[in-house]
Amino acid sequence: MEAVAAGEKNMLRVVEASRAPAKVIIEGLGKRFKTRKRWVVAIEEVTMTIREGEFLCIVGPSGCGKTTLLRILAGLETATSGKLEVAHRDSAKPLNSMVFQEQSIFPWMTVRNNIAYGLKMRRVDSRIRDEVVERYLKLVGLSKFADAYPHQLSGGMKQRVSVARAFANDPEILCMDEPFAALDEQNKILLQEELLKIWESNRKTVVFITHSIDEALVLGDRIMLMTAHPGRVKAVFNVDLPRPRNIATLRTNPGFHKQFSEIWSSLREEVNKAKADEGICT
């Protein structure tokens, strides 16, 4: 039932259907928008099923419409064709929360109030809210900075707040748009570890966009590779690495390198294609 771009000769592994129920069903999803001069197709015929509790990474060359797909999932944009179904099982919970790539925590709120934002918008009882916020402050190691303002924090700490804000909102799906792309290598690893720790404790459905195969292998259960502009599903890879994952030892795992080169050889073509028509999509 896993629909993968058919006839794709580079597809290395057709993913078998899992026992977990489907959380998100995407069918033939497309998005076109008009610039001043012409119509641009951002994504086209995207078909994919995301399972309950799955950590799905989406990898693709820049400008392939990864972010557009995620923004449609997050309800920030609407598709122009196709179907998107999300199983909203618990109506008390919000459908999704997004962690943005750029600086997105409110500069005018303390760390505590930033993390509490989603719960406040949902008018969650303040006692429960405080408890949840305390827990996530501790989980991301920011208890001491609960009352600090974002301008007093480093980039890594700001992104921790952003992650905590999304998790604290307790959504059915977490949408993460290259959340660690702007961080330096050391902070990136720290945050990946923290994200894995949090995720392993609550097993939310995560859709995580990245341009790094490394990151996708470290975090994901499956990796969806997208084609260069316009974005289509090129292939879906199962990540066979055992959990819980330890980032340090993962890199010495021979399976890691094998999968890396598999995915890279497929991605490379798309990157070259993207380079060839650079300027058309930005």
Partner 1 sequence: MNNESEMLPSVQVADNPEKKSWTEMEDSVRQRFLSFISPVIFLVIWEVLSRTNVLDMRFFPPPSAILVTMYHMIISGELWADLSVSLYRILGGFVLGTIPGLIIGLSMGLFKPVRLLLEPLVAATYPIPKLALMPLFMLILGLGDMQKIVTIATGTFFLVLINTVAGVINLDKIYLDVARNFGASRKDYYLTVALPGALPLIFTGLNLGMGMALLLIVAAEMNGANQGIGYLIWESYDIFDLNKMFVAFIMISLLGYIFNVILNEIERWIVPWKQ
CA 178 to CA 180: how far, in whole Å? 6
Stretch that binds partner 1, among 59-67, 105-113, 245-253, 266-274 (CB under 8 A): 105-113
How far, in Å, CA of 221 to CA of 156, rounded? 25
Q: Does 148 bind partner 1 (CB under 8 A)?
A: yes
Among 190, 198, 247, 271, binds partner 1 (CB under 8 A): 190
Q: How far is the CB of 106 from partner 1 (least distance, A)?
A: 6
Asked whether position 144 contacts partner 1 by CB under 8 A, the answer is yes
Q: Does 136 bind partner 1 (CB under 8 A)?
A: no
- Piece of 18-26, 45-53, 137-145, 212-220 that binds partner 1 (CB under 8 A): 137-145
62/104 with CB nearer partner 1: 104
| Cβ atoms of 182 and 155 closer than 8 Å | yes
Going by C-alpha positions, the residue among 216, 222, 250, 219 that lies closest to residue 235 is: 222
Q: How far is the CB of 108 from partner 1 (least distance, A)?
A: 4
Instruction: Write the binding mask 166 to 185 for partner 1: x where contact by CB under 8 A, - elsewhere.
Output: ---x----------------
Which segments within the chain are labelled E, that is strand? 22-34, 39-51, 55-59, 81-86, 96-99, 173-177, 205-210, 222-226, 233-238
* Contact criterion met (CB below 8 Å) for 236 and 277: no
Least distance between partner 1 and beta carbon 270 (Å): 27
Q: Which helix (H) or strand (E) holds 72?
A: helix 66-73
Rank residues 61 and 118 by Cβ distance to partner 1 and give the closer one.
Answer: 118
Cα–Cα separations (whole angstroms), residue 97 to 19, 177, 243: 25, 11, 24
Q: Which of 14, 121, 128, 280 binds partner 1 (CB under 8 A)?
A: 121
Which CB, 178 or 270, lies closer to partner 1?
178
Show Cβ contacts of residue 274 under 8 Å, excluding neighbours closer than 6 positions.
61, 62, 63, 64, 228, 229, 281
Residue 98 Cβ, how far from partner 1 at the closest point, in Å?
5
Q: At what angle do helices 126-139 and 155-168 cross, to 10 degrees?
A: 140
For residue 249, how many other CB atoms are within 10 A of its CB?
9
Comparing CB distances to partner 1, the nearer of 48 and 98 is 98
Among 4, 72, 100, 218, binds partner 1 (CB under 8 A): 100
Minimum Å gap between C-beta 179 and partner 1 is 13
**CB contact at 8 A, 186 and 194:** no
> Could you tell me which residues come within 8 angstroms of residue 21 by beta carbon, excluding any fewer than 6 positions away?
51, 52, 87
Q: Binding marks (x or -) toward partner 1, 62..91, rule CB under 8 A?
A: ------------xxx---------------
Binding site for partner 1 (CB under 8 A): 74-76, 94, 96-98, 100, 102-104, 106-109, 117-118, 120-122, 141-142, 144-145, 148-154, 156-157, 165, 169, 186, 190
